[in-house]
Structure 1
Amino acid sequence: MISIKGVSKTIENKEILKNISLEVKEGNIFGLIGPNGAGKTTLIKCLTAIYKTDSGEVKILEGEVFDNPNIKKHIGYVADQNDYFSYFNINNLIKFYRMTYEDFNMKKFEELNKIFNIPKASSVKKLSKGMKMKLALMLNLSIMPKVLILDEPTGGLDPIAKRQVTNIILDEVATRKTTVFISSHNLSSIERICDEIGILINGEMVYKNSIEKMKKEIRKVQVVFKDKVPENMESLPGVLKVEKVGRVYSIITSRYNDAFVKKLDECNIVFREEVGMNLEDMFIYSVGGDMRYEEVLK
């Protein structure tokens, strides 16, 4: 459904994207995470054909996206800043979308607005950032997209609205098999809704995996040794870091499996407890602290 192969992009003599490749299957939700300045928005602008790539290809629905209105009409795009025509009211915007997108569904818009309750006579320039985000989501879902691309879609939203947006996205995928590509700093939402994630750092896609597989493989294990501590704990499969509090050692591994447990049990331990890590923990280890992301998520 979404295919990005070997995409690179330079802006003002700075290489922003470096040979990016990924695939997103129909009906899946792909989450893109990374620190500020990693190139997430640039990748999304290549995906939506706002930018033309310097090299590589971007295909959606098996067709090249750039300069292809037959593909673009099936793409909904909610930007991180939704600066619509300030002199429009919402009714004007609806009219504009209905003229632009042949599949615009007014009934869909009305159903979504029962949730967000934004008066259609409201002037766009008087809307808050959060209300503009809700409006953008309603408009782009109403075109009945086959692919929905979201750049920080929960920005400016309160916790209740964030949950509403998340539920709407999940319902869209469940009922219409919409393919979703989402960039967000809200890692708890990414973890909740995404099938797969990619980590973008300094313009490079340094890691891709399914959420399910990550949770199985990346674990923190707390142990207490009977006697002395083994000298070579770092040689255990996939060990990334060892921390000590009192007699308890916390071992973080990216290769938690039967082989790891067997090796650990051979170290003469009297207590062992597996602790799952959430996506935020995994991401922090991947980009911060005294460790390199290659070591954490290789």
Structure 2
Amino acid sequence: MIEVQNLTKKFGAKAALDNVNFTIGGGSVFGLVGSNGAGKSTFLRTCAGIYFPDGGNVLVDGKAPFENAEVKSKICFIPDYPYFLPQATLSDMAKFYSGIYPKWDAARFEDLCKLFPVGKKERITNFSKGMQRQAALICAFAARPEYLLMDEIFDGLDPVMRQLLKKLICEEVSEHNLTVIIASHNLRELEDLCDHVGLFHKGGILFEKDIDALRLGVCKVQAAFRPMPERSAFEPMEILEWETRGSLLNLVVRGGRDEVLEKLNSLNPIFAEALPLTLEEVFISEMEVAGYDINNILS
């Protein structure tokens, strides 16, 4: 389990993380989403023990990871730009990892090299961006960590490799109780993978929720009216997004599906229906509430 307690990290006068509090349970897949510069990468680096907090704590199984070899041996972090030893091959990196991670699995390494089309004897610096990520993934899974942290891991992977990665993550979580944290802007990839999601913005966390509960708390509906009622007629519904096209109204509303439809039907629409809501639509709606939307950016 990872406990984040009043976590603060500053770079000069800027707080990349500002008094953040939440918990990540063991054996789960946690998605970190948020605006650019929200603090997602800073959080991962602090959690991995690369950064020392300026305030508060991040505890991995009750212990701080910074300068703690015991805790770090449980954590594998793949940054946005994976690091490899200069001129190293994948075989060289396997030797390096085997000296750091006590649960290094040589047989697993060989199996993963067969799954991913990456040459073990070639210099990794000659690899494409996507192949370098595959090399990092091979080392990470073979290290058998208890916590796997990944920053924009889907970037550069082709669709087949993305599906393979998701399959491996699900297997490791199910069979070895691995805890995975993924920071990504690719919300569609996270949608069918994560158990929980945390929304970061301006160094804080707006919410941390079970992904199914998140969808239950926000409803997307479409209705047709003739004539169109005034917006005030929809009170006291908390409307996150309002769009009209002639007689057609599209709403994203905070609340349950049944109660929202009941309110809409009381206004005598021609028809009203609930529509599936994607994680990306939830993200956009919540960020608009926080003042981060296209209209504010353009103005």
Query: Which residue matches 1:252?
Result: 252
Displacement of 1:28 in angstroms is 1.0
Distance in 1 between residues matched to 2:94 and 2:39, nearest whole Å: 32
Q: 5 Å matches for 1:1-298?
A: 1-225=1-225, 229=229, 232-287=232-287, 291-293=288-290
Q: Residues 27-55 of structure 1, C-alpha deviation per residue, up to 9 Å, x if partnerless?
A: 11110011221111111111001000001
Distance in 1 between residues matched to 2:230 and 2:256, nearest whole Å: 19
Distance in 1 between residues matched to 2:141 and 2:134, nearest whole Å: 11
Gaps of 5+ in 2: 294-299
Q: Residues 212-260 of structure 1, C-alpha deviation per residue, up to 9 Å, x if partnerless?
A: 0122222221112365625523414222232211211112102124333
Judge conservation of contact 2:153–2:184 (CA < 8 Å) in 1: yes
Distance in 1 between residues matched to 2:228 and 2:221, nearest whole Å: 18
Displacement of 1:62 in angstroms is 2.1
Quick one: which amino acid aligns to residue 161 of structure 2? A
Distance in 1 between residues matched to 2:219 and 2:257, nearest whole Å: 10
Secondary structure (helix, strand or coil) at the match of 2:256 reads: coil
Q: Residues 260-291 of structure 1, C-alpha deviation per residue, up to 9 Å, x if partnerless?
A: 3322222122311111221112222333xxx4
Q: Residues 66-91 of structure 1, C-alpha deviation per residue, up to 9 Å, x if partnerless?
A: 22111111111111111311222222
Secondary structure (helix, strand or coil) at the match of 1:251 reads: strand
Judge conservation of contact 2:227–2:247 (CA < 8 Å) in 1: no
Q: Which moved more, 1:248-257 or 1:179-188?
A: 248-257
Displacement of 1:19 in angstroms is 0.7
Q: Residues 3-48 of structure 1, C-alpha deviation per residue, up to 9 Å, x if partnerless?
A: 1111001112221110111111111111001122111111111100
Q: Which moved more, 1:14-23 or 1:241-250?
A: 241-250
> Relative to 1, partners in 2 of residues 1:295 and 1:122: Cα closer, same or farther, differing over 3 Å?
closer
Judge conservation of contact 1:198–1:206 (CA < 8 Å) in 2: yes
Q: Which moved more, 1:251-260 or 1:27-36?
A: 251-260
Q: Which moved more, 1:258-267 or 1:76-85?
A: 258-267
C-alpha root-mean-square deviation of aligned residues, in Å?
1.9
Displacement of 1:294 in angstroms is 6.9
Secondary structure (helix, strand or coil) at the match of 1:100 reads: coil
> Relative to 1, partners in 2 of residues 1:228 and 1:278: Cα closer, same or farther, differing over 3 Å?
closer
Distance in 2 between residues matched to 1:126 and 1:82, nearest whole Å: 14
Distance in 2 between residues matched to 1:231 and 1:115, nearest whole Å: 55
Distance in 2 between residues matched to 1:122 and 1:62, nearest whole Å: 40
Distance in 2 between residues matched to 1:153 and 1:242, nearest whole Å: 34
TM-score, length-scaled by structure 2: 0.92
Judge conservation of contact 2:220–2:274 (CA < 8 Å) in 1: yes
Gaps of 5+ in 1: none
Distance in 2 between residues matched to 1:261 and 1:231, nearest whole Å: 16
Distance in 2 between residues matched to 1:258 and 1:216, nearest whole Å: 11
Judge conservation of contact 1:234–1:241 (CA < 8 Å) in 2: no
Distance in 2 between residues matched to 1:78 and 1:241, nearest whole Å: 36
Judge conservation of contact 1:219–1:274 (CA < 8 Å) in 2: yes
> Relative to 1, partners in 2 of residues 1:20 and 1:231: Cα closer, same or farther, differing over 3 Å?
closer
Distance in 2 between residues matched to 1:295 and 1:208, nearest whole Å: 18
Judge conservation of contact 2:261–2:272 (CA < 8 Å) in 1: no
Judge conservation of contact 1:218–1:276 (CA < 8 Å) in 2: no
Judge conservation of contact 1:4–1:59 (CA < 8 Å) in 2: yes
Quick one: which amino acid aligns to residue 293 of structure 1? A
Secondary structure (helix, strand or coil) at the match of 1:193 reads: coil
Distance in 1 between residues matched to 2:291 and 2:235, nearest whole Å: 17
Distance in 1 between residues matched to 2:292 and 2:284, nearest whole Å: 13
Distance in 2 between residues matched to 1:241 and 1:160, nearest whole Å: 35
> Relative to 1, partners in 2 of residues 1:256 and 1:103: Cα closer, same or farther, differing over 3 Å?
same
> Relative to 1, partners in 2 of residues 1:93 and 1:228: Cα closer, same or farther, differing over 3 Å?
closer
Q: Which moved more, 1:3-12 or 1:163-172?
A: 163-172
Judge conservation of contact 1:196–1:210 (CA < 8 Å) in 2: yes
TM-score, length-scaled by structure 1: 0.92
